[in-house]
Amino acid sequence: MTDLSPDEALPLDPRRRRLLQVAGAGLALVGMAPVAFAAGEATTVAATRAGRVRGAREQGLHVFRGIRYGADTSTTRFQAPRAPHAWNGVATALAFGGSAPQRGNDGPGSEDCLFLNVWTPALRDGGKRPVLFYIHGGGYDTGSGSNPLYDGTRLCQRGDVVVVTVNHRLNAFGYLHLGQVAGSGLGASGNAGQLDLVLALQWVRDNIAGFGGDPANVTVFGQSGGGAKIATLMAMPAARGLFHRAWTMSGQQVTAAGPRAATQRAQLFIATLGLDPAAPDAIARLRALPAAQLLEATMVRDFSRVEDTRLYFGPVMDGEVVPRHPFWPDAPAQSMAIPMVIGNTRDETRAFLGNDAKNFALAWDELPARLERQQFVDIRSDLVVEEYRRLYPQYTPSEVFFAATTAGRSWRGAVEELEARARQPAGAAPTWAYQLDWGSPLDEGKFRAFHTLDIPLVFDNVRQPGSRTGDGADAQALADRMSDALLALARHGDPNHAGLARWEPYTMARRQTLLFDVPATLADDPRGGERRFWQQAPFVQRGTM
């Protein structure tokens, strides 16, 4: 599936566009002038190992935006991240730090991007609150931890927890595998963005107690690319012991890019920049190019993708940082004790394929060709149509199109991970599956339960700029149930709570899945016919080859 940040998935809400403009202006002023606060607001100071930071008091919380957890990467491009230099005095953490270099709404960004944000009810009180560490979506290409939908205020107030969001290197800056190119010696470059996340989790381990959190109780959660990054962390030795529960939403990483394929992409990227990958000075020249020039080269067409022109970037099974595929041939043993939730939305692809009005008015005779371009699985598209018409005789051609692309592009990865976890030996931590069935009432309901819709529900942020849930009673009721489930997982290692019918762990015998709707219900093997149909072809994560 194409991974999109919330503001890329559907047309940008005008309120969100204005907020981004204001935030961008604020970033330019950080450190240049005093920050004014409204009456009754105040600043707050916390200590980290590198130095003290000044945040804001907002709605009874201590909020720190733009805490540096790593050094500027501009002088160490493609290398593993480094801890920040200690500073004297009090550093300002009143505005979000720069996003990673990228195209799109969060761009162009900066190579000085290793910043995180903290929302907490109290400082230095020995509270040992659960820590919720969110990793943003946008695939491995775009996004940042400053999206309004990721605001941690309501989770903190609702569950007495500490919320952390994070920026890290993306696209070529975080996932360009140079270990086998021109003898560069940059063996970790293909996973530099993952190592940034490890460094941020180490920051939490070393500092979060001063922010009222418990470093021994960290829950990582993330949507789309964020979920895929979590799946990868679960197989990375460097991340062992840094988090203790996991919740992923529409984001899987069953297999990583192979080193040969990643090297071929690196060679294509370098050649696109007008350099000879085999030249002795190729890497030195690559590291000296302006960031904007590298971003432009990321748009070269990938040799294995069909839905867009961007070169694929993602984690690489390099034998060291990522020594194995994250969830193949089995679930990683190092994460066997981590309770996990794996979820998806019922109508994922309506988020981006729904932007083409033609996809809502398809005829049966044009459907196979349209599916052929979008299903990503090598099964005859006419047979796909035939099977979906058998399973769902009431579906229109457009409904078949969105259902089949959703199942073939995203949901299959979730099934693969759920099955791998369910096959673990007795005594392994349980895994819970969910599917968001409730659909957005906006746009006359045509986007239904689209990719990214669960973000404001899990954060209890249905009224934030950018939310497309609407602010009706059903949206808030579902946000109550989903955010409470996340908080229950963080606090107890089990997402069940009084507001839900019993949510049973996923097993191979029954494939129990909670269908989040109003009300939520538990179902055994929902969409079982679709699951069996797609299993006739092997699952290969895009970018693997």
Residues with catalytic annotation? 224, 348, 451
Terminal Cα-to-Cα distance of the chain (whole angstroms): 16
Which structure tokens are listed for 60?
């009874």
| Residues linked to residue 257 through DSSP beta bridges, in sequence order | 316
H helices of 375-513, where? Answer: 381-391, 397-406, 412-422, 454-458, 473-492
Residue 7 to residue 453: CA distance in whole angstroms: 11
The length of the chain in residues reads 545
Residue 334's CB: how many other CB atoms inside 10 A?
Answer: 15
Query: Measured on CA atoms in the order 311, 312, 313, 318, is the torsion positive or negative?
Result: negative
Residue 207's CB: how many other CB atoms inside 10 A?
Answer: 21
Q: Which helix (H) or strand (E) element contains residue 521? A: strand 521-524
H helices of 79-224, where? Answer: 153-159, 171-175, 192-207
Distances in Å between the Cα of 44 and the Cα atoms of 157, 259, 377 are 18, 47, 53
Residue 181 to residue 466: CA distance in whole angstroms: 42
Q: At what angle do helices 367-374 and 381-391 cross, to 10 degrees?
A: 110
H helices of 30-168, where? Answer: 153-159
Which structure tokens are listed for 295?
């971003």
Residue 141: which residues within 8 A CB-CB, separation 6 or more? Answer: 3, 102, 103, 104, 170, 171, 225, 298, 310, 313
Nearest to 454 by CA among 224, 232, 297, 228: 224
Q: What is the DSSP letter of 211?
A: G
Whether residue 439 contacts residue 445, with contact meaning beta carbons closer than 8 Å, is answered with yes
Residue 91: which residues within 8 A CB-CB, separation 6 or more? Answer: 51, 52, 53, 54, 67, 68
* Helix, strand, coil percentages in the chain from 3-state DSSP, rounded to 5: 35, 15, 50
Residue 60: which residues within 8 A CB-CB, separation 6 or more? Answer: 121, 157
436: helix, strand or coil: strand
Nearest to 176 by CA among 248, 250, 82, 277: 277
Per-residue three-class SS string for 249-263: ECCCCCCCECHHHHH
